[in-house]
Amino acid sequence: MDPRQNIIEKRLANINRLIAVASGKGGVGKSLIATTLALSLSKKGRKVGLLDLDFQGPSAHVILGLKNAYPKEEKGIVPPEVHGIRFMSIVYYVKDEPSPLRGTDVSNAIIELLAITQWKKLDFLVVDMPPGIGDQTLDLIRFMKGSEFLVTTTPSKVALETVKKLLKLLKELKIPIMGLIENMKMFPSSLAREQAKELSVPFLGEISFDRYLEEAIGNPNKLLETKFARDLNVILSKTNLL
């Protein structure tokens, strides 16, 4: 047993809910959903943390327009507060360079980050998960006990096929699944809804493709005013988050 597991449990002990935003593959808007969710919860007056653990393509810092905000060392690492949320990302350590880490090195880096980060008391910690069902995702399921998964896909048959594998894995491991969100919806299609029904997973709703969303990247206030954010908040209002 990795001794860091006990440390991680202590680091997460004062967090009321862990929301893991996951997807079967990259490029489906997972990071945007995770970041917008964290910002929306903060706007509602909740104490929120956002943890970007997407080694392949950390992007929450870009969405937030992060500048000159760095973690501090204080018996571990204390995340900076940006736009009302406590933010930690693997990008602080790999910067904007390609990560040279592979395999078990990636898993160790993620576990180490969980062990050293001091979140203190939070209502919610939103985690931007690595895409897919690789070792990193399995490690996070193992170490972040009590996580609830919010899964996102697009209408693409390729995305739906990969998210199906993720949902099956979560169900086999008896991990709580909040539901499935279909992002970037452009044309009528019931494939995502049907897949959720087939797997007995709640289908939370659709987010229409927002052609103006790109203009809001880097500006959280503008992001929360987009149709994307409005659609997401309507979906989340059906849950017990917002």
Tracing tokens 């969100």 back to the chain, one arrives at 181
Closest CA to 129 of 73, 58, 179: 58
The span from the CA of 118 to the CA of 74, in Å, is 9
Please tell me the predicted confidence (pLDDT) of residue 97: 61
Residue 191: C-alpha distances to residues 42, 62, 123 (Å): 33, 31, 34
96's tokens: 């904007």
Share of residues in the chain with pLDDT > 90 (%): 74
pLDDT band at 74 (very low <50, low <70, confident <90, very high): confident
pLDDT tens-digit readout, 5-22 = 889 999 999 999 999 999
Tell me if the domain spanning 4-237 has CATH number 3.40.30.10: no
The span from the CA of 130 to the CA of 33, in Å, is 14
Residue 45: C-alpha distances to residues 48, 69, 122 (Å): 9, 21, 11
Strand order in the sheet with 148-153: 81-82, 85-89, 48-52, 122-128, 15-23, 148-153, 177-185, 203-208
pLDDT tens-digit readout, 185-197 = 999 999 999 999 9
The span from the CA of 149 to the CA of 170, in Å, is 8
Q: What angle do CA 63, 65, 70 make, to 5 degrees?
A: 110
Tracing tokens 């862990």 back to the chain, one arrives at 18
Share of residues in the chain with pLDDT > 70 (%): 95
Mean pLDDT of 152-161: 95
User: What's the first-to-final CA gap in the chain, in angstroms?
Assistant: 37
pLDDT exceeds cutoff 90 at 180: yes
Query: What's the mean per-residue pLDDT of the chain?
Result: 92
Please tell me the predicted confidence (pLDDT) of residue 11: 94
pLDDT tens-digit readout, 79-129 = 999 999 999 998 887 766 666 666 677 778 888 899 999 999 999 999 999
Domain range list for the chain: 4-237
